[in-house]
Structure 1
């Protein structure tokens, strides 16, 4: 009888590169346009744990011309109220927002739903000309419960936030730059280089000064408990299941 062999581990959903004063994380689920699934959440928590223990700058980006096209709808379809109350994505994004050193998101292409919320959780965002931000969650019978409902308001004001969250407005790179959501628009081929230049500039400051400045700036921030409570109700709704079933059926055709 042949000897049983262990199953190969699933491929990593992120690429992590450590370079002295910074860590570069690239989202890598090209077949799903870098949609954020449970495995990616776990791997990003591992990155956060390392940065909490040894504080460094963080650069987040996506592979293949997409930052992240959302959360994994197949997984969301199966989540109920209990999972919503656990705040699977919201707790990760809150952890990223609270990392001791500054974080930069280099956004190329789509940053939608949970992908947009991941970008909102970073301290500074740079964008390529094709970057697009949006939160279409209500169209799937849920809300943007991983930070958009309050981070976007803080970043852009209530009026624009409601246009994005309630009316489905998408912000292209020019809109996002004009409104202050992104610091700069950079050609895609130079986006990572420019992000590193920004990190280089921050790295020239005193590390403790950076940490305390970020801490004080973020001190008035709220926390996502209300989002999770509302999401728990929506995750149990028939409307959510029907809309996600329709989405998944269309994706399979």
Structure 2
């Protein structure tokens, strides 16, 4: 599992604008951030972003690349890139719509709306809001809960979830693999034993 968290009240503020100003077509086509965030999204294990403050621009896109996000009352997501003459090109233009729906994504990406903690919770962008001092503890509890689950089942579930379109065959194939594991047999035996007690 991977945990990305905040420091000093900021999750990630995005790119250095002075550096970004010097970039040209060739740098854009290298997809520096988009490839990195894609690697985070494609990790074969659950990823959690503990967002305790501002996640703006590329910082928001990094959070969007994670599987689960939790926040604090100070959490704010935003993508102001069009105001700088560019677009949010590290995944926000499609990843945010997948997470919150096209209407909310357009409000953020086209109209400059910032999603505070309550709005992010309401649209499902964050799973929960906890006090700032509780953020790491909440992230640890979430990760502990995930760690108790079958690693193989988690990996295949994430793979099927992230596959494009409807995928009943992928569901069946993944389940067929998991049905043959000792982990499945052991976990189900323990479950049945607990029910008898």
Aligned counterpart, 1:137: 81
Check if 1:158 corresponds to 2:102. Answer: yes
For the pair 1:65 / 2:9, whether they are aligned, the reply is: yes
In structure 1, which of residues 118, 122, 133 is the aligned counterpart of residue 62 of structure 2?
A: 118
Establish whether residue 199 from structure 1 lines up as the match of residue 143 from structure 2.
Answer: yes
For 1:124 and 1:161, the matched residues in 2 are separated by 17
Q: 1:124-180 CA distances to partner (integer Å, 9 max, x unpaired)?
A: 000010000000000000000000000011111111100000000000000000110
Larger % of helix: which? 2
- Residue 181 of structure 1 aligns to a residue whose secondary structure is coil
1:74-100 CA distances to partner (integer Å, 9 max, x unpaired)? 221111001101100000000000001
Q: Give the distance between the partners of 1:120 and 1:180, measured in 2 at CA.
A: 12
Structure 1 residue 219 displacement after superposition: 1.0
- Gapped runs of 5+ residues in structure 1? 1-56, 222-253
Distance in 2 (CA, whole Å) between partners of 1:179 and 1:157 is 8
Can you list the C-alpha shifts for 1:28-74, whole angstroms capped at 9, x where unaligned?
xxxxxxxxxxxxxxxxxxxxxxxxxxxxx000012111101111212
C-alpha separation in 1, matches of 2:38 and 2:143: 21
RMSD between aligned residues: 0.8
TM-score by length of 1: 0.64
1:146 aligned residue = 90
TM-score (norm 2): 0.82
- Name 2:129's counterpart in structure 1: 185
Q: How many Å apart are 1:105 and its aligned residue? A: 0.1
Please point out which of 96, 111, 133 is paired with 1:167. 111
Residue by residue over 1:208-228, the C-alpha shift from the partner in whole angstroms, topping out at 9 and shown as x without a partner, is 11111101100118xxxxxxx
**Secondary structure of the residue that 1:159 maps to in structure 2?**
helix
Stretches (4+) displaced over 2 A? none
Q: Does the alignment pair 1:102 with 2:30?
A: no
User: Does 2:10 align with 1:77?
Assistant: no
C-alpha distance after superposition, 1:223-243 (max 9, x if no partner) = xxxxxxxxxxxxxxxxxxxxx
